[in-house]
Amino acid sequence: MNIVLAGPGAFGIKHLDAINKIDGVEVVSLVGRTLDKTKAIAEKYDVDHATTDLGDALEQPGVDAVILCTPTQGHATEALQCLEAGKHVQIEIPLTDNWADARAVYDKQQETGLVCMVGHTRRFNPSHQWVHRRINAGELKIQQMDVQTYFFRRKNMNALGEPRSWTDHLLWHHAAHTVDLFAYQTGEKIVEANAIQGPIHPDLGIAMDMSIQLKSETGAICTVSLSFNNYGPLGTFFRYICDNGTYIARYDDLVTGREEPIDVSQVDVSINGIELQDREFVAAINGGREPNASVGKVLPCYEVLHELEQQLEARRT
């Protein structure tokens, strides 16, 4: 399988490392904003073609699929371009930063029948898989999820500490992980959602602090705290409060509520969530099936985010 990777930045590099571990898959073109930098990364990863034009990459011989790790604001346009070119596409989270674009991508996927998957990595992390399997086996039922998503980003920098050309968003990006995961783990529709936010940053134009409350059909609740102002441990920490135990997931690691480690090394073929996400993308294409985290499966998350955005906008005015 020949793949184009667009956006070889901090997260694109994670995908390049992951794809190197998947047999029969090759990145044949890199698309970046700056040609010299893109060529340097292409040389490091033995990719033959580098360009600043996604259309140029899509026209390379034998391209089957695309992974988009580009700025959020371009995701929908680029995803539509890939689907219209007949290429399967995986879009790094978030799918979009507005509901209309999310629907447009879904509609195009339905029209083409191609695999269109979104990078909701929490569905693939071994820690969350372990919990999901116990829920499906009837051994656990979630009463509450308490999730903290904390970063220190008072300047517009990426995960490598480099300046960004675009602005990240607590609601449309970081909350998307948890809104989708809560519905996925409970197996239920979110029927209530509420959000409040702190002051808008004068330069970035976004809220730096946010709190979200969710409720499922049978009454499970989820509380999400998000901040770009946190000067301390960084990342996202998930506490599952269940009827039969409490578990804390930190990306690919899992402990009990008493901080007792749980071995998740045998949950899947890797303990790297990004690798498992990419393996699912490839397997869905090869198998001609809908992937976990398809645009259709994650679309309800973006509808909830849209509703929350409307709440926040109404309160600002």
| Whether the Cβ atoms of residue 268 and residue 130 lie closer than 8 Å to each other | no
* Per-residue pLDDT at 186: 98
Query: Whose CA is closest to 14, among 87, 92, 75, 74?
Result: 92
54 near 74, Cβ under 8 Å?
Answer: no
pLDDT on residue 158: 60
Question: All domains of the chain, ordered by start, with CATH?
Answer: 2-119+274-291 (3.40.50.720), 122-269+301-316 (3.30.360.10)
**Angle ∠(254,277,12) on CA atoms, nearest 5:** 105
Q: 310: Cβ–Cβ under 8 A, 6 or more apart, which residues?
A: none
Place of tokens 């599952």: 240
The pLDDT of residue 155 is 73
- Say how far apart CA 47 and CA 297 lie, in whole Å: 32
- Other CB atoms within 10 Å distance of the CB of residue 205: 9
74 Cβ contact list (under 8 Å, min separation 6): none
**Positions in the chain short of pLDDT 70:** 156-167, 317
CA distance 226 to 235: 10
| pLDDT digit string, tens, across residues 21-31 | 999 999 999 99
What is the pTM assigned to this prediction? 0.94
CA–CA distances in Å: residue 261 to residues 106, 179, 265, 273: 39, 26, 12, 18
The confidence score (pLDDT) of residue 309 equals: 96
**pLDDT of the residue at 153:** 77
Bond before 94 cis per omega within 30 degrees: yes
pLDDT at position 161 is 66
Quote the pLDDT of residue 203: 83
The pLDDT, as a whole number, for residue 116 is: 98
What tokens does 267 get? Answer: 């949950």
Phi, psi values for residue 269, rounded to 5°: -75, -10
